[in-house]
Amino acid sequence: MGRLTWHDIRQQLRQQDSVPPPPPATEFWTRFRARARQRLRPEPTPVRQRARPWAHPLPRLAWAAALLILTGLAVLLLQRDPTPGSGPLVAVAGRANASAIEEIEVFVPYSSMMIMQDAETGSAIVWLADLDVSAKL
């Protein structure tokens, strides 16, 4: 047969798929409303009014002092002559356990792009999946 692509495979998988449709919306939400009424619900906590401990009057002074000390330490560290090993140690300590996976939205259906950053090796892996822009949709 001709050239078979992942597009063909996907189409075939979708044809074979036998997930039934969900129940009608009216029926579902009627049942939902009946059951939701029986459930207690916590009061909403507005996102913009989250607790901010540094904004309270008493700890404010402590926060300011801590900030001042940290700033001073940072300035001192920056002013010191670089000695072998001292710079990288700070940097490495700052990066400890910084491995991360970031998924980036791409506008090709079923495609994905991700960047994995490995703190241990200092490497980054770019993951591209199904980035076939010529695929028929």
Partner 1 sequence: MAQQCPDSQALLEAARSGDVDAFANLFEQHRPILHRVAYRLVGPNDCDDVVMDTYLKAWQALPRFRGRSSLRTWLCRIARNCGLDLLRRERRQQTGRIVNDDPDSEPMLDRIPDEHSPAPDREAALHDLGKVLQQTMQELSEAHRTVLLLREVDGLSYREIAAATGASMGTVMSRIFHARRSLRRKLEASEQWDG
Residues that bind partner 1 (CB under 8 A): 1-6, 8-10, 12-23, 25, 28-29, 31-33, 35-36, 39-45, 47, 101, 103, 109-110, 112, 114, 116, 127, 129
Instruction: Tell me the closest approach of the beta carbon of residue 90 to partner 1, in angstroms.
Output: 29
Classify 42 as helix, strand or coil: coil
Instruction: Tell me the closest approach of the beta carbon of residue 56 to partner 1, in angstroms.
Output: 21
- Token readout for 130 is 């199904």
What's CA 120's distance to the chain center, in Å? Answer: 20
Q: Residues near 125 by Cβ (< 8 Å), separated by ≥ 6?
A: 115, 116, 118
Using the minimum distance from each CB to partner 1, give the nearer residue, 28 or 63.
28
Using the minimum distance from each CB to partner 1, give the nearer residue, 23 or 72.
23
Using the minimum distance from each CB to partner 1, give the nearer residue, 33 or 52.
33
Nearest to 132 by CA among 6, 2, 4, 1: 6
